[in-house]
């Protein structure tokens, strides 16, 4: 038997390292089982996860494991008595989180050991590279990608084959293939999970792309905040070099290509490809005017191609299985599968990969299990700070580039933040504007000044200082920024504001006209009082109040001094009789 612990970042954060240490502490020198590691399977809501294998067959998946369970797990592995860990086994309902998915980019995540080349090769790893180098011309590789319909998974959805072909046809011997792993959207962690859990799939996909465009050097631009991903990729690069899968004369085919890692400082604007190139060259990350496009004049003024991690993670599967197999999934305009980071007020959060053409309802309710605490679904933010909020009445929207764009949102890199009835949509728009205004590189006036002005207006509104004409002014500013911004950051920054005004205008009007927050989330617009009939005079709320704003005798109704109250909500959390009224 093998014990395999999920030790991606989410697993470690949930306590996987403590589980490993506890298991190791009760193991003897010569156990009849082995202890291994894997990456993130995507079920973040169930971490830490421990899998039990007999050979290559998964026989039990144990979830929400703690260090206290170590002895039972070891005893089970020694004796083969699975009843010893029965209470930890995943439920059939939670298993559906995976069984309802179609995994291509995530096909190895949470299954193989991310730092084992043998594991990757046993899972058909590097067969696509060998096939491409030994049996296909670069043009045939590009044609296969064209047939697949693979579009860039970083957000723009631009045809991958077209970018590769443009770089291929550009003059010059010195060309570069760059991976954009600068995953900056709040709530997005798809790229991180792939690099942590399956780094060789990135290397293989990039090598095939480098062969197609004629590049001899590959660069992975990854966020420095992803230390585990960087460590695993460094290990994988060294393994590939030793196996003659990277470097000079790869697999004896005459094709040579090397790879290096650039750790970025975490600027959101560096997700834009020309700003990323500037950063790679040691300059401040600011977008360039286009044209010329990177395929003609990119890194070091040489032809360059840039795709994100998820895009490259699909490439070897397409070469192995054929472009038509990939194109058979999805819709007419959006082929294949897409990975989403499902977060927010959702019961089952984690990584989800589905064929294009599924609906938002399929993901949020069919896979994610619906809204936490049985609250009502209100909206989902698609595409991060560059995306838009899609309301409940559009829950059956099909997930493809065209359908999402029609709602005012975008596919983006795959962030999917779910909101319930307690979410203030004006506050949500402000949250994302705070982010984009801060992350604006400042190069163009429309983005630098426009996002700041929108942020100021939204701040006034949530503080109860909104005035007539603010909504119209926001709409005017949004259109001006969209039309005048130099790069995608500014051009899409207004999306959260425009979509929340479009679908939740009544909430803006309530904030401005009534000085009330319908979701009861904006602190400056709330008032706290106590229902005298429900209050039992237990004094607990008064004891918990940090501002000493609650007074009253024992067994008598208490009162709240509104001038002293700081609206922290401690009284609501402490009251056992539902006597606190928040309006």
Domain ranges of the chain: 2-99, 117-327, 337-420, 425-514, 527-582
pLDDT band at 384 (very low <50, low <70, confident <90, very high): confident
H or E element that contains 432: helix 425-439
CA count, 13 A, side-chain hemisphere, 231: 8
For residue 155, pLDDT beyond 80 = no
Query: Mean of the per-residue pLDDT values for the chain?
Result: 94
Closest by Cα among 46, 51, 50 to 67: 50
Closest by Cα among 420, 419, 501, 417 to 458: 501
Closest by Cα among 307, 357, 309 to 336: 357
Contacts (Cβ under 8 Å, ≥6 apart) of 395: 359, 360, 361, 364, 377
φ/ψ region of 469 (left if φ > 0, alpha if ψ in -120 to 50, else beta) reads left
pLDDT band at 271 (very low <50, low <70, confident <90, very high): confident
pLDDT at site 156: 73
The alpha carbon torsion through 548, 551, 555, 556 (nearest 10 deg) reads -160
pLDDT at site 266: 80
pLDDT tens digits, 385-410: 888 999 999 999 999 999 999 999 98
pLDDT band at 411 (very low <50, low <70, confident <90, very high): confident
pLDDT at site 488: 85
For residue 69, pLDDT beyond 90 = yes
Supply 576's token pair.
């056992």
What DSSP character marks residue 576? S
User: Residue 103: what are its φ and ψ, rounded to 5°?
Assistant: -105, 120
Can you tell me the distance from the alpha carbon of 323 to that of 108, in angstroms, rounded to the nearest whole number?
20
What DSSP character marks residue 140? H
For residue 72, pLDDT beyond 90 = yes
| CATH top-level class of 337-420 | alpha beta
CA end-to-end distance (rounded Å), the chain: 58
Quick check: helix, strand or coil at residue 507? helix
User: Residue 139: what are its φ and ψ, rounded to 5°?
Assistant: -65, -35
pLDDT tens digits, 140-151: 999 999 999 999
CA distances from 151 to 164, 383, 488 (A): 11, 16, 17
pLDDT at site 364: 97
Supply 166's token pair.
């443009």
Sort strands 528-530 and 580-582 into parallel, antiparallel or unpaired. Answer: antiparallel
Closest by Cα among 118, 114, 168 to 142: 168
Mean pLDDT, rounded, for 113-119: 97
Can you tell me the distance from the alpha carbon of 28 to that of 365, in angstroms, rounded to the nearest whole number?
45
8 A C-beta contact, residue 304 and residue 185: no
Quick check: helix, strand or coil at residue 177? strand
pLDDT at site 188: 84
Q: In the CATH scheme, what is the homologous superfamily, with its name and number, of domain 117-327?
A: NADH-ubiquinone oxidoreductase 51kDa subunit (3.40.50.11540)
Q: DSSP string covering 66-104, please? A: -GGGHHHHHHHHHH--GGGGGGGBPPHHHHHHHHT---S
Is the C-alpha dihedral spanning 383, 389, 392, 395 positive or negative?
A: negative
pLDDT tens digits, 505-524: 999 999 999 999 999 999 99
pLDDT at site 61: 97
pLDDT tens digits, 188-232: 889 999 999 999 999 999 999 999 999 999 999 999 999 999 999
Q: Where are the beta strands (DSSP E) in 429-561?
A: 528-530, 550-551, 559-560
Can you tell me the distance from the alpha carbon of 240 to that of 247, in angstroms, rounded to the nearest whole number?
8
The fold for domain 425-514 equals de novo design (two linked rop proteins) (1.20.1440)
User: Residue 136: what are its φ and ψ, rounded to 5°?
Assistant: -130, 145
For residue 293, pLDDT beyond 80 = yes
What DSSP character marks residue 365? I
Work out the widest C-alpha separation in the chain, in whole angstroms. 88
8 A C-beta contact, residue 541 and residue 571: yes
8 A C-beta contact, residue 19 and residue 62: no
For residue 413, pLDDT beyond 90 = no
Supply 560's token pair.
């709240």
Mean pLDDT, rounded, for 114-136: 97
Percent of the chain with pLDDT over 90: 89
H or E element that contains 249: none
Supply 489's token pair.
């950051």
pLDDT at site 353: 97
Q: What is the CATH number of domain 2-99?
A: 3.40.30.10
Q: Is the bond leading into 538 cis (omega within 30 degrees of zero)?
A: no
Contacts (Cβ under 8 Å, ≥6 apart) of 271: 154, 155, 180, 182, 183, 184, 413, 489
pLDDT band at 154 (very low <50, low <70, confident <90, very high): confident
Supply 49's token pair.
């996860």
pLDDT tens digits, 453-489: 999 999 999 999 999 999 999 999 999 999 999 888 8
pLDDT at site 502: 96
Supply 293's token pair.
């496009």
For residue 60, pLDDT beyond 90 = yes
pTM higher than the cut 0.85: yes
What DSSP character marks residue 293? P
8 A C-beta contact, residue 306 and residue 79: no
Count Cβ atoms below 10 Å from residue 18 Cβ, excluding itself. 16
Length of the chain: 583
Q: Is the bond leading into 48 cis (omega within 30 degrees of zero)?
A: yes
Percent of the chain with pLDDT over 70: 100
The fold for domain 527-582 equals Alpha-Beta Plaits (3.30.70)
pLDDT at site 237: 98
Q: Where are the beta strands (DSSP E) in 182-299?
A: 217-223, 258-264
pLDDT at site 92: 95
Supply 98's token pair.
């995976």
Contacts (Cβ under 8 Å, ≥6 apart) of 474: 454, 457, 458, 497, 501
pLDDT at site 268: 86
């Amino acid at each position: 038997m093998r014990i395999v612990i999920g030790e991606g970042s989410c697993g470690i954060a949930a306590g996987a390292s403590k589980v490993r240490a506890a298991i190791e502490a009760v193991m003897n020198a010569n156990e009849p089982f082995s202890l291994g590691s894997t990456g993130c399977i995507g079920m973040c809501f169930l971490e830490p996860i421990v899998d039990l294998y007999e050979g290559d067959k998964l026989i039990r998946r144990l979830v929400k494991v703690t260090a206290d369970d170590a002895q039972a797990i070891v005893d089970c592995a020694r004796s083969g008595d699975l009843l010893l860990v029965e209470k930890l086994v995943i439920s059939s309902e939670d298993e559906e989180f995976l069984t309802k998915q179609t995994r291509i980019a995530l096909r190895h995540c949470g299954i193989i050991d991310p730092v084992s080349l043998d594991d990757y090769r046993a899972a058909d790893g590097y067969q696509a590279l060998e096939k491409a180098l030994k049996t296909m011309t670069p043009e045939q590789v590009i044609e296969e990608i064209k047939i697949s319909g693979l579009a860039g998974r970083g957000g723009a959805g631009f045809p991958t084959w077209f970018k590769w072909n443009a770089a291929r046809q550009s003059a010059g011997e010195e060309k570069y293939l760059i991976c954009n792993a600068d995953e900056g959207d709040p709530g997005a962690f798809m790229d991180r999970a792939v690099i942590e859990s399956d780094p060789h799939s990135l290397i293989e996909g990039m090598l095939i792309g480098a062969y197609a465009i004629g590049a001899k050097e590959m660069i992975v631009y990854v966020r420095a905040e992803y230390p585990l991903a960087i460590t695993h990729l460094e290990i994988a690069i060294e393994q590939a070099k030793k196996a003659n899968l990277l470097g000079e004369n790869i697999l004896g085919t005459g094709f040579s290509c090397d790879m290096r890692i650039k750790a970025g400082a975490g600027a959101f604007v560096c997700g834009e490809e020309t700003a990323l190139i500037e950063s790679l060259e040691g300059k401040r990350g600011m977008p360039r005017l286009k044209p010329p496009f990177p395929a003609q004049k990119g890194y070091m003024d040489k032809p360059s191609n840039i795709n994100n991690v998820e895009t490259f993670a699909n490439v070897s599967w397409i070469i192995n299985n054929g472009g038509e197999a990939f194109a058979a999934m999805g819709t007419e305009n959006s082929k294949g599968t897409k990975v989403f980071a499902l977060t927010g007020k959702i019961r089952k959060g984690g990584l989800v990969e589905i064929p294009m053409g599924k609906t938002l309802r399929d993901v949020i309710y069919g896979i994610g299990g619906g809204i936490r605490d049985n609250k009502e679904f209100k909206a989902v933010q698609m595409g991060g700070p560059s995306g838009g909020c899609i309301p409940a009445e559009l829950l059956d929207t099909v997930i493809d580039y065209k359908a999402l764009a029609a709602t005012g949102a975008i596919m983006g890199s795959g962030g999917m933040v779910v909101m319930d009835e307690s979410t203030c949509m004006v506050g949500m728009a402000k949250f994302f504007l705070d982010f984009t205004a801060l992350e604006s590189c400042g190069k163009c006036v429309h983005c630098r000044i426009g996002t700041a002005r929108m942020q100021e207006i939204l701040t006034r509104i949530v503080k109860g200082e909104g005035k007539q004409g603010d909504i119209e002014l926001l709409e005017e500013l949004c259109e001006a920024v969209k039309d005048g911004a130099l790069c995608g950051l500014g051009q899409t920054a207004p999306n959260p504001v425009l979509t929340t005004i479009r679908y939740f205008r009544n909430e803006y009007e309530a904030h401005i006209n009534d000085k009330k927050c319908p979701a009861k989330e904006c602190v400056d617009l709330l008032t706290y009082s106590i229902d005298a009939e429900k209050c039992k005079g237990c004094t607990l709320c008064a004891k918990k109040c940090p501002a000493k704003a609650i007074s009253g005798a024992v067994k008598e109704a208490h009162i709240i001094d509104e001038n002293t109250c700081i609206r922290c909500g401690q009284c609501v959390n402490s009251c056992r009789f539902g006597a606190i009224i928040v309006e």
